[in-house]
Amino acid sequence: MNLTTHSQEETADVGRRLAPSLNAGAVLLLIGDLGAGKTALVRGLAEGLGVPPEEVSSPTFTLMQEYRGGRLPLIHVDLYRLNDSREIDELGLEELGLESVLAIEWAEKLPRAIADAIEIRIAHGDGDERNISIQ
Ligand code: ADP
Ligand code: MG
């Protein structure tokens, strides 16, 4: 599926609309440059899962954050600062998300593919335009 958005809110909406279709164990691989809108989409995802918005609105610089209080826990991972594939392996991401939804930014850094993951690519267009492809 291919979509075009024109604002951060519209990109968050894509996550919001995706949320109801996700089950425990769902893995979302987010791929796109800095500023593409990966975090915006995850924020919408959290809202769509019913995570209280105040949980999600604070900016985070952590590698991994878990949001509770929604239909399913959401584990949000950002691999931006990790470059060593062994460090990434040690996170044990595959075992983490079994009872949650797992959303991984900079998923192209993963040393191994995760089975049945949903791949979301976000590319910059002109200005605020973003082209989003899902799976
Ligand atoms: P990433 O996590 O991919 O680095 P962020 O979601 O943190 O990106 O930031 C995206 C930035 O781009 C925000 O500053 C946002 O306001 C801006 N932006 C402009 N247009 C869009 C759009 N269509 N979708 C998402 N973000 C957009
Ligand atoms: Mg981000």
- Going from the Cα of 57 to the center of ligand 1, the distance in angstroms, rounded, reads 14
pLDDT 10s digits, 36-80: 999 999 999 999 999 987 777 655 568 899 999 999 999 999 999
Ligand 1 atom with the smallest distance to the CA of 122 is 3
Ligand 1 atom with the smallest distance to the CA of 41 is 6
Average pLDDT, the chain: 92
Ligand 1 atom with the smallest distance to the CA of 36 is 3
What does the pLDDT read at residue 97?
79
| Residue closest to 78 by CA, chosen among 62, 93, 66, 94 | 62
Mean pLDDT of 111-127: 94
DSSP structure class, residue 19: G
pTM metric for this prediction:
0.95
Measure the CA–CA gap between 81 and 77, rounded to whole angstroms.
11
What does the pLDDT read at residue 52?
83
Confidence of residue 94 (pLDDT cuts 50, 70, 90): confident
127 residue type, one letter: G
- Going from the Cα of 99 to the center of ligand 2, the distance in angstroms, rounded, reads 23
Q: Are 48 and 17 in contact (CB under 8 A)?
A: yes
Measure the CA–CA gap between 47 and 123, rounded to whole angstroms.
23
